[in-house]
Amino acid sequence: MSGDTPTLSVQDLETHFFTRQGVAKAVDNVSFDVGKGEIMGLVGESGSGKSVTGFSIIGLVDPPGEVVGGKVMFNGSDLVGLPEEQMQQLRGNRIAMIFQDPMMTLNPVLRIDTQMIETLVTHDKSISKDEARQRSRDALGQVGIPSPDERLKAYPHQFSGGMRQRVAIAIALLNKPDLIIADEPTTALDVTIQGQILFEAQKLCRETGTALIWITHDLAVVAGLADKICVMYAGRIVEQGAIDDVLDHAVHPYTVGLLGSVPGHNTRGHRLYQIPGMTPSLLNLPKGCAFQARCPKADGTCEAEPGIDEPVPGRQVRCFHPQMEAAATGGQEGTPS
Ligand SMILES: Nc1ncnc2c1ncn2[C@@H]1O[C@H](COP(=O)(O)OP(=O)(O)OP(=O)(O)O)[C@@H](O)[C@H]1O
Ligand SMILES: [Mg+2]
């Protein structure tokens, strides 16, 4: 692999759901790269297409959904249309997904040690059972499971929900995959545990070069974790760039609104901004920009489809009216009120 090839390069990805009510473009022309060791935060409101993006990358979209266009280049080769058998091998091996529901990863009828050791041995046939057990124990310790030796012998149902999620995360980290897609895995965990898991994930990426996509609606999580951020709205990425740049100077009115609705040190005693209106149904999108009905900047121009622009170097935005004054003044002065 050449040093320049990103671990993952998603290009013009399109995933549609063919429902009785019509075609929902859940992922519409989505493109981004995640390099070796890089962490990308994928954020957006409920229903914006974050999970479907993740599932599309790993080939887990089921009918009525279908990846209908684009490429998912993984270490330089396209995963779209790869036979299921090869995809399965990648999933158990080079690509891991952590789901919101840990039971999507865990097998309810197998002891934790059996599952972890099997994961390791499938990946590396030469590993001894003792070594596999040692690594499993270490992995449980890493995600904050007390007495990992005893816990290894337990079945999934003997753990609390939060503990089960930590085990699922430990399994995802075990083989040091090239790519991890984590779909809101820490939402249900308490903040100290969440912090510990984010720290371990970050460490893994730095040390082993794992590329990580962290899906969440929690901007605070992404702020502390990610190198770059993609903001999704109604199936499209409306803004992407380096994390600090975007958080300090968001230019898409949707991102500006999202940031304005997060409690911060200077918002105490003030009412938080709330983006007016609701996420539109994908089956009933307006012509042009999907955000126009909720956008303080919208005008007649927005009835056309905004393309991807680069108003500031390194930043991609889909908007006819990027809030450049926010970029210029350095922060939330651009928050609509
Ligand atoms: N099985 C399905 N059948 C029909 N449409 C679907 C299906 N799954 C997803 N969709 C469509 O895809 C859209 C995006 O769903 P997705 O689960 O990716 O949202 P999300 O951003 O992950 O939301 P959340 O934050 O609630 O997890 C949905 O709004 C819906 O229109
Ligand atoms: Mg989701």
Ligand that comes closest to the CA of residue 43: 1
pLDDT value at 208 more than 60? yes
19 CB less than 6 Å from ligand 1? yes
57 CB less than 6 Å from ligand 1? no
- Report the C-alpha gap between 104 and 89 in whole angstroms: 17
- Report the C-alpha gap between 323 and 298 in whole angstroms: 12
Average pLDDT, the chain: 91
Average pLDDT over residues 250-266: 86
pLDDT value at 335 more than 50? no
pLDDT value at 300 more than 70? yes
Percentage of the chain lying above the pLDDT 70 cut: 94
Question: Ligand 1, residues 20, 27, 52: which to mutate, most atoms within 8 A of Cβ?
Answer: 52
Residue ranges and CATH numbers for the domains of the chain are 1-81+179-192+211-337 (3.40.50.300)
pLDDT at 324: 85
pLDDT value at 162 more than 80? yes
Q: Compute, in degrees rounded to 10, the torsion defined by CA atoms 284, 290, 293, 299.
A: -130
Supply the residue whose CA is at minimum distance from atom 14 of ligand 1.
Answer: 49
- Report the C-alpha gap between 248 and 210 in whole angstroms: 26
Identify the bridge partners of residue 240 per DSSP, sorted by sequence position: 230, 316
Q: Which atom of ligand 1 is nearest to the CA of 279?
A: 29
Check: CB of residue 6 under 8 Å from CB of residue 212.
no
pLDDT value at 331 more than 60? no
Helix (H) or strand (E) holding 290: none
- Report the C-alpha gap between 265 and 267 in whole angstroms: 6
Q: Which residue has the higher pLDDT, 315 or 272?
A: 315
pLDDT at 333: 44
For 23, the token pair is 């075609």
Helix (H) or strand (E) holding 219: helix 219-225
The model's pTM is 0.92
Ion ligand 2: residues, CB within 5 A, are 51
151 CB less than 6 Å from ligand 1? no
Q: What's the pLDDT tens digit per position in 307-322?
A: 999 998 999 999 999 9
Q: What's the pLDDT tens digit per position in 6-24?
A: 999 999 999 999 999 999 9
